[in-house]
Structures are given as structure tokens and as C-alpha cells.
Structure 1
């Protein structure tokens, strides 16, 4: 039986496959105007969406009174932190910008996109009409340091040095914020606004990850004492609302430690958020561990690897890679849940907005305040979500 020869062109080469690309009119006809009923539905939906967008834009640019934001901009971002000591926050932020820029030049990839995000955010704040000249100088310096750091990272890439620098940055930032007796002490009762929100979320995310990892491994342990202790903790925390955990951390924790031991209010909130988030992360990680085939364990043991080495170098990398979307979703959730600390007396970004809205001078402008708060949360949650997608794409999650 003779084989069918492929069609060839004039030069004898095979013809390219048919193009799957469609013109805009063809795509609209195939997807939105296939028949009369679908065409009617499309027209009605376009009209409704158009009216909604028009009313929203009209309110934002014409009706809304945004004059409530400029006089309270500093209060929303840093609470009652003394104006004379704001340079300490700026130094910490510029150090972060320099390290992020250097990391983008050293590691490239996702870090580069985060550096561009931060530079863009600085640029947007810099062009705001109500920002003071001193703040513009700080913001411009931040953009410049991101660029300088990126160049330094490309010229002398040193991954180990960058990792050590990030570890040193954490106590350095804490020293700048508090002073610890070397600088003028700024009590945590003056910390507030978005500064407090960011601190609570950062500590909860960073500290809850290793704790959640240990809980997930402990729940799969063959030692009954370890296994059932982890199960009890996880199920107890997951069965209680976050606000209850915060109340326990604020009221019961000092009593449990005795009257002679005092813990700062913000530290109590950090402990409560960390313990709560760790329980949910443990279940996310446990799901990734259960997704690893048994053959992975058997193959590593056949190579002579111990259970500890198998877990650290074979199982955990695959399990964590599989649950990146759920872990980042939990990080976003805890970032938003930090707004609950306003109920226990801490003035985060939402708490500051509520206090401003209660001021007789700004009565009737609550919507503008809360939309500003929602925009801030949306920006940072979108950055986390985008970072997650980039990491998933670089690791090939769902592709292989």
C-alpha cells in the first residue's frame, strides 16, 4: 500500500499547519454573536457593564471628595510615629530597596519583577500632588538605590552574601523602629497605620512557615505522642475563629505567663497571628506531602538515604512546589486578616481609617477612606499573587 505523500508547495517543502488565529470580527461572531439569543444577551450585558463603569468613574473623578486623604496620608501610613523620627522608617525602607535591587541583579527572575513593582510604587507616590518635598527626596532616593543595587548585583553576584544581608536586615529594621535605648525609644503604642499592618503580616508569614512545616511533618510522624499533639493543636486552632485567638493572646497570654512577665500588645498580636496561620499552613503542606508517590521514599531508601535526608532533599522540595498556590493564598488571607487587630485595640491601617472617619471634620467621607484602604490592600495582595504565579511558572507547576 502506497503511503500518502504530504502536500508540498512550489519549492517542494511541506506546507505549514493551518493557522489557528482568528480576526477580531470572526472571534466576536464565534463567541459573542453566535445566534440571536446570545447576541441579545451580549448587548444587554455590555450596556449594564458600561453603566456600572460609568457610574463608578463618575463617582471617583467627579462626586467623591478625596480631600480627606492628603491631611491624613502620614497618619494612614505610619500612625502616630513621631515626625522627627520618621527618618528611621525611611532608612529601613531605603535599605530594603537597596537589598531588593541587589537581589534582582544577583538572582534575577521573580525578584526583578518585585524590584520593578517597588520602583513603580515609589514613582506613583512621588508624583502625588500632596506629597511633601522631603518625602519626594526620600522616594527618589529609593528609586535610585534600586537601580544602583541592581547594577551592583549584576557586576558582583554573590548569592550567599545576599542571603546573609537579608538575615541581618531583620534585626536592623527592628532596631531602627524601636531604638532599643541607643536611639530615641519609640513605644509600640505609637506604631500604627500601614506600618503596623505590614509588620504584623510579615512576622506572621515568616514565623508561621517553619512552624507549619514542623506541624505537618509531626502529624505524619510514627511517634504517637508527636503525632497526636500536632493533630490536637491543628484541629483546635482551625476550629476557633481568628478573633478568638487574638483575644486569648491579648488577655489570657499574660495571665498564663504570670503577672511578673509582660509582653507587648503588638508582640501578643504577632504571636496570635503566627499560631493561627501555622495551623492552616500545616494542612496545606500535609496535602503536598500526601501527593508524593510512595515510590519516591522507596527509591531514596534504596540509594541508602536516611529518612531525614529523604524528607529534606527529596520529599519536601516536591511537596512545597505542589502547594505553592495554596500557601500563597493563605499568606494573602493572613495579610488581610491583620485588619482584625483593630478589634483588640491596635490601630492598623483599617483602625486609623475608622478613627479618621469618626472625626467630625471628616464626617460623610467614610467611603473615600475605605476605598483608599481597599486600594492599598489590593495592590499588595496583587503583588503576592503575581509573585506566586511567576514562581509557579518558573518551577513548572502544573506543566510537568
Structure 2
């Protein structure tokens, strides 16, 4: 039978996941470095041989790689650095991504420190081992991205980008220090601070109008819904009505405010480079995951219409290559609109396709997690009189999402790399900039493709590897695969 304590613990799994991602406590090990090397690399004759051969192979690759990097001409990257980062963003509007990025960095520092402090206090109250976050731990976690940022700065021709990065680091450090000292009543809203930073970034860069305003409204509604869910009693009828009505009202207010700001911002239809790649990835994850969860629940529904729609959508999308869907959205879909209709730009259509494509795969991942939850959990909750909605929200879904973290993050990494397919419909994303740079008059025919593609590959690796590292960390913190 499910006790009230276990139900409450399961209900807060989402908060635990957020805190696990922001906790900086190192994973404990009783082995010294020399013991670890002996036990893992030289524990037997076979392991010793494999270690020696692998080290020699890695050393040869490193030697020739460094030698090539030193002797090759990197001027093509230096001349196109702004294109690699933000595409054809107007030069006189560059303050927008800088201001929005610095705002987001400060919000992430403040919110992540608040969640880390909450995790630290919870562990201390429960008598569990806990250590304060350290800057060294943060450096170990995010060194690939920091190394890529340093690499980018080596190609800059002015001091302004370096000053901007230093300002971002200063804001992040200040946010971490302030967030750690926040009162407990304010720290409970730490995730919402990061959400506000995302909304601020979108508003500063893209401003008002169309789908950007709608996206801002949806994000604002999500933030407000989470805050309300943390602060009111949803067991009562009044609390339920308020929890449903106020997020919609908050989203409408945000949308109205953003829509009434005319001639402000620079829409994403002309964005490009790494900036667009990261934006599409974040948008695809943040919108595709909740949609995928709804599709997974709908596929298990007992209502034939809902189940039939979800099954049809999932199987159709999963049975069609993403590149064909992008072709359809880029070249065929505009032909289906009436002549007088306003057609969304190509980037918007591509983002919708990527979101739907990602949602279909996430739905199957979540469905596998739902099937892994023992039926006895549901039966015990029903015996206690919990409604179907509460059983799904408090008992089943937290356990299902916890079980599918590796597959889910793998899908997120795949989505990040699939953004390179946007090039086929004329979107100048990160990888496409490498091709464009090699077609410029001063670099045409010089065979510099390995240079530009190597630079792009390092960028993709830095972010993908960081996501993989955070996934493994989260699995360890939540005990995925252990009883």
C-alpha cells in the first residue's frame, strides 16, 4: 500500500530532478586516483594490453591533430566568426543578443544556486551526507562548453567579445553567491527565475509579434502554473479552478503585453549560426517534451478517438524521415495556403516540424516508462481513494520519467544534432555556415572545408557531451537502474 509519505516523496520528484541537476556535490568514491587506475586500467593482462594500445592510438591521434591545427590556416573561421555565432544578425542590433544572454546568465546563476541550496538544506535535515557546491565542481561539469567559448574568443579581432564573456561570468558568479543566500521562501521559486530569464531573452532579442509573442505567453503560463501549483491547495474545488484559470490568464497577459510593443525586436526568420541552433533545440525540447507526454498518455487512453488519434500521429511521424517533413514544410506546405493568407516563415515552419517529430519519439520513450511502472502501484493508490488524475501525476508519471532519463536525454542530443537538417530548406544554421564560408570569393577553391567543419564539430561535441555528462550525473543522483 502506498503511504502518504511515499506519495508526497514521489510527487516532488520533478523538484528533485531540478535540484539534482543544479547540485554541485561531487560523486563520492573511496578509491584514490592510483587505486582507480590500477583497478580499472591495469587489473589484468588483457586490460593492460588494451590500455597500452588505446593510449598509443589516442596519443597518435592527439599528436597529428595538434600538428594539423597548428599548421592549418584559420583565417576563414576568424573572418566568419560572427556568421558562425549569430548568422546575419544586424551589426547595429548586436546589443540584443548580448543583453538577453547576460540576463539569462544572471538568472541561471541565481536560480541554480537557489535550487542547490534547497537540495543542500533538504539533505542536511534528513541526516544525509551533503557538501556545499564548489566552483571546481562546476568547472568539471561544464568544462567542454567553457573550452569552446575560450576557443571562440581566440578567433575574435576585438576586445568587446572577451569583455562580454567576462561580464557574463561576473553576473553568473554574483547570481550564484546571491542565490545561495536567498531566504527559503524565495528559493522555492528558483526554477521560475530561470524561466523568467528565458522569457526575457526571447523578449529582448525577438521582441513582439506573432509566434514569438505566443511562445512568450506559453512560457509565462508554464512558469505561473508551476508557481501556483507550489503555493495553493489543489485538493479543493476552488484551488483546482484557480490552478487552471490563473495560468491561462497569466499567459494571456504576457501575450498581450508583448503583442502591443510595436516595432521592437528582431525576429528569428533572419537568425542563424549557433544562436539559431541552440534556440531551435531549446524550443524543440521545451515544447516537444510536454506534447510527447500528452501523446503517451493519450495512447494508453481507454477512449477510442483519443487513442486512435495519438497512435496515428505517432506512427505516421515515426515512419517518415525528418528530412521529408522539412521538405514538405519548406516547399509544399506554402502551396496549400490560400493566396491571401499570411504564411509563416520557413524557420517557424521548420521549428513546428522539429517539435512534432521530437514529440512522437518522446511519446514512445515515455510510454515505455509508463509500462515499466508496476501495476500494483496504481492499484494501491486506487485503494487509498486517489483519483485517476492524481495517480497519474503523483504516482505513475514521476516513476516513468525517472526510468527513461537515459533515453530521453539521448533524444534531446539527437534533436540538437538534427537541427543541421534545417540547411536543406535554406536556413543558415551552425553547420550550413561552414558551407557558406567556403563559397565566399576569397576562400573559394582553397580546400578549407576541413577547417570550418572541424570548428563546427568541436561546437557540436561541446554541447552534446555536456548534455551526456549531465544525464549520467542525474541518473546517479536519482539511482536510475538501482533499487
TM-score, shorter chain, exceeding 0.5: yes
Root-mean-square deviation over aligned CA pairs? 2.9
Q: Which residue pairs with 2:102 in the alignment?
A: 94
Q: Which residue pairs with 1:327 in the alignment?
A: 408
Q: Secondary structure at the match of 2:302?
A: coil
Structure with max Cα Rg? 1
1:172 is aligned to 2:255: no
Equivalent residues in 2 for 1:179-194 (5 A)? Answer: 179-180=207-208, 182=262, 185-194=265-274
Deviation at 1:262, TM superposition (A): 1.7
1:117 is aligned to 2:151: no
Q: Name the CA distance, whole Å, in 1 between partners of 2:173 and 2:39.
A: 45
Q: Secondary structure at the match of 2:427?
A: coil
1:206 is aligned to 2:206: no
- Mark the runs of 5 or more structure 1 residues left unpaired by the alignment: 1-18
Q: Secondary structure at the match of 1:69?
A: helix
1:53 is aligned to 2:62: yes
Equivalent residues in 2 for 1:338-357 (5 A)? Answer: 338-357=419-438
Indicate how the Cα distance of structure 1 residues 311 and 92 shifts in structure 2: closer, same or farther if over 3 A, else same: same
Equivalent residues in 2 for 1:248-267 (5 A)? Answer: 248-259=328-339, 260-267=341-348
1:133 is aligned to 2:216: no
Q: Secondary structure at the match of 2:373?
A: coil
Residue-by-residue CA offset, 1:220-274 (whole Å, 9 max, x unaligned): 0111111111111101000000011112222343444533132122110110000
Q: Name the CA distance, whole Å, in 2 between partners of 1:22 and 1:301.
A: 51
Q: Which residue pairs with 1:397 in the alignment?
A: 480
Residue-by-residue CA offset, 1:274-315 (whole Å, 9 max, x unaligned): 000000000000000000111011000000001111001000
Indicate how the Cα distance of structure 1 residues 344 and 49 shifts in structure 2: closer, same or farther if over 3 A, else same: same
Indicate how the Cα distance of structure 1 residues 58 and 167 shifts in structure 2: closer, same or farther if over 3 A, else same: closer
Q: Name the CA distance, whole Å, in 2 between partners of 1:372 and 1:169.
A: 29
Q: Which moved more, 1:44-53 or 1:369-378?
A: 44-53
1:382 is aligned to 2:465: yes
Q: Name the CA distance, whole Å, in 2 between partners of 1:207 and 1:27.
A: 41
CA contact (8 A) 1:200 1:269 kept: no
Equivalent residues in 2 for 1:349-368 (5 A)? Answer: 349-362=430-443, 363-368=446-451
1:294 is aligned to 2:322: no
Equivalent residues in 2 for 1:145-156 (5 A)? Answer: 145-156=171-182
CA contact (8 A) 1:285 1:319 kept: yes
Q: Name the CA distance, whole Å, in 1 between partners of 2:134 and 2:316.
A: 37
Indicate how the Cα distance of structure 1 residues 138 and 48 shifts in structure 2: closer, same or farther if over 3 A, else same: closer
How many correspondences in the alignment? 376
Indicate how the Cα distance of structure 1 residues 229 and 125 shifts in structure 2: closer, same or farther if over 3 A, else same: same
Indicate how the Cα distance of structure 1 residues 309 and 138 shifts in structure 2: closer, same or farther if over 3 A, else same: same
- Mark the runs of 5 or more structure 2 residues left unpaired by the alignment: 1-31, 120-132, 209-260
Indicate how the Cα distance of structure 1 residues 136 and 54 shifts in structure 2: closer, same or farther if over 3 A, else same: closer
Matching residue within 175, 190, 202 for 1:162: 190
CA contact (8 A) 1:322 1:397 kept: yes
CA contact (8 A) 1:126 1:140 kept: no
